[in-house]
Structure 1
Amino acid sequence: MPKKNEKPIQATVLTENVVAELDDSDAKKLYDLSRFGERTDDQFQYALVEGFYLFKKGKMILKSVHNRVISERKFMKDVLKHDPQFKVRYSVYADLRDRGYIAKTALKFGADFRVYDRGVKPGEDHAQWIVYPVHEGSALTWYEFAAKNRVAHSTRKRLLLGIVDEEGDVTYYECKWLKP
C-alpha cells in the first residue's frame, strides 16, 4: 500500500507496456528508489509485469487510453490475449522483486528478464543473471536449454530458470559453465 503522502501513480495501459507522465512525483520517487520503469524524454514506461506488480501493491492505478480505470480481471483478460505466458512471467517477476532484486526486461539479451543483485541499480553495475520463467508442466528440449545457456554465457551473465508450480510458487535453478 502507498504511504500516507504517496498517491498511486496514474498510468495508461497500452498493448505492449504501461506509461505514466514524466512529471508524476511518485513515479519519479519509485524510479529513483527501486528503478521501476524506464525514463524517456516525455514519460515513464513500464513493462506489463512491472505495471501489474505496482498495481497489485497499490502503487499504481491502471487506466485505459480513454482514461477509464481498468480492473485486475480486465487487465488479465487483455494481456493474456497477447501473452499467454503472462501469469508465469509475472510470478517470477513478483517473486524476484519481493526478494529485493531489481528485474528488468531483457529482450535484447534474448531472455525475459535481467536481474541485478540486491542493492545494485541498473546503470550502476551490470545485471548478474538473465532469467527464463518456465511453468513446471512445460517441456524444455536440450537444444532450447543449450541455446539459453549460450545466450547467458555470451552476455557474461548467469542463467537462472524460474520454475513456476501450480500454486504460483517459484523455484530457481542457476546454471553455470564449468571449465575442466
Structure 2
Amino acid sequence: MKGDFEVSDEQEIEQTDMEESEEEEIPAVTLFSGGMGYVPREEADRISQEGFYGDRLDDGKLELEPVEILHLLERQRIELVDDGGERVESKDIVNLLIEEDTGLWTRYLVFRDLRSRGYAVRSGFGGGIDFRVYARGDRPGPDTANQLVYVLKEGDSISLNDLDVVTEAAAVARKKLVFALVDQNGEVNFYKVAQAILHDKIGDDE
C-alpha cells in the first residue's frame, strides 16, 4: 500500500561544469512562428553548443521552446523576426507567450535559476514533470538526465494522487525527483522528494 511522501530540507542539485560563454556576440536572427523559435542552420551550432539549447530538425534548423526563447532573449543571444522577416519586439513576444501559457513565467524562473547555476536543462516528458536536469559533466544527447523537476508556485496545491503519479514516474525512470517552489518574490527553492512505501501487516498480532 502506498503511503506518505517525505520532503527533505532544501537541497542543492549537483552543479554541472557546464558554463555558458559570457563574451559578447551578435544575436542570431531567429524566426518566431507558432509559439516556437527557429534558429537558421548557419547559426544553430553556435546557439546549441554554447548552452545546449533546442532540438535540431531534419533541415538543420534549431527549434527552441518558449522557456528557451525567453532565456536567450534575456541574454541577448537571439533576435526574433516574424514570418515576413520583420523584427518582433522582445516584450511583445514575452507578453504573447505568457498570455498563451499562464504558468510559463513560473517555469521560466526555475529554468533561469537552474541555468544560472550551470546546469544543462531540458523540458520534461509530461505527467507533470517540467524539466530534466543532467548530472555533473553530462550533456543532452549522449547522456540522460538523472533528476526530474516539478514546478510549483507558492500558494498552489498538489493532490496526493498527482504527487503519487510524479513520484512513481521518477522511481520507474530511476531518476531523482526535485520540487521547485517559486515564492511570491520570484525566489526559487528546491526540495528533494522521496517516496515511502508502507506494507500492510497481515496477521501481525503485535
Aligned-partner residue type, residue 30 of structure 1:
I
Write out the 4+ residue segments of structure 1 that deviate beyond 6 Å after TM superposition. none
What's the counterpart of residue 55 of structure 1?
A: 73
Candidates 8, 14, 27, aligned match of 2:33: 14
What's the counterpart of residue 106 of structure 1?
A: 124
What's the counterpart of residue 176 of structure 1?
A: 194
Partner Cα distance (1:22, 1:52) in 2: 20
What's the counterpart of residue 169 of structure 2?
A: 151
* Gap change, CA 1:110 and 1:164, over 3 Å in 2: closer
1:110 Cα shift? 5.0
Query: Identity rate of aligned residues, in percent?
Result: 26
1:163 Cα shift? 0.6
Partner Cα distance (2:100, 2:68) in 1: 16
1:154 Cα shift? 1.5
SS of the equivalent of 2:129 reads coil
Query: What's the TM-score, normalizing by structure 1?
Result: 0.88
* Gap change, CA 1:16 and 1:110, over 3 Å in 2: farther
Q: Deviations over 1:97-129 (max 9, x none)?
A: 111001111235652111112331112321011
Gaps of 5+ in 2: 1-20, 199-206
Candidates 38, 41, 56, aligned match of 1:39: 56
Q: Deviations over 1:57-82 (max 9, x none)?
A: 11111222222222232112211222
Partner Cα distance (2:42, 2:191) in 1: 40
Partner Cα distance (1:68, 1:34) in 2: 27
Partner Cα distance (1:86, 1:164) in 2: 12
> What RMSD over aligned residues (CA atoms) do the two structures have, in Å?
2.0
What's the counterpart of residue 166 of structure 1?
A: 184
1:56 Cα shift? 0.1
Partner Cα distance (1:118, 1:75) in 2: 33
- Verify the 8 A CA contact 2:128 2:150 in the aligned structure 1: no
- Verify the 8 A CA contact 2:32 2:80 in the aligned structure 1: yes
What's the counterpart of residue 23 of structure 1?
A: 42
SS of the equivalent of 2:185 reads coil
Aligned-partner residue type, residue 15 of structure 1:
G
Gaps of 5+ in 1: none
What's the counterpart of residue 23 of structure 2?
A: 3
* Gap change, CA 1:115 and 1:64, over 3 Å in 2: same
1:19 Cα shift? 0.8
Kindly indicate whether residue 114 of structure 2 is the aligned counterpart of residue 96 of structure 1: yes
What's the counterpart of residue 81 of structure 1?
A: 99
Query: What's the TM-score, normalizing by structure 2?
Result: 0.78
What's the counterpart of residue 138 of structure 1?
A: 156
1:88 Cα shift? 0.3
- Verify the 8 A CA contact 1:34 1:121 in the aligned structure 2: no
Equivalences, count:
177
